[in-house]
Amino acid sequence: MHEGIEDFTMPDDEQARVAADALRMLADPTRLKLMWALLQGEENVACLADLTGARPTAVSQHLAKLRLAGLVTTRREGTFVYYSAADHHIKPLLEQVLSHAAHATGTPAPAEH
């Protein structure tokens, strides 16, 4: 069947695994909000807790998972640790899924920056 489709391609096993891992990490509302915030600039745990409405300890645990998945990076400045998105390739995905959510709920989508 696929032979008749011009330029048909499939991701290799490693690409599919990495993509599925990233989607699994983003399948949590708090982690999705954390990634959205970090795609707009680096922040510390206290600020991210305030932005997401989650407790700082919960935010730290979510950030640790995102970091292990390679979605966020850290930078230490004195006693503070600042988190940022590892890369911006995930931003269009979040924009699309949040746009879908806004459409489905009849609410405005978050503004792009």
Cα separation, 86 vs 61, whole angstroms:
17
pTM, 2 dp: 0.86
Cα separation, 47 vs 79, whole angstroms:
15
What is the structure's pLDDT at 6?
A: 85
pLDDT in tens, 7-49: 888 999 999 998 999 999 999 999 999 999 999 999 999 999 9
Cα separation, 43 vs 56, whole angstroms:
13
- Which tokens go with 2? 């696929």
Domains in the chain, ordered, with CATH?
A: 12-105 (1.10.10.10)
Cα separation, 86 vs 84, whole angstroms:
6
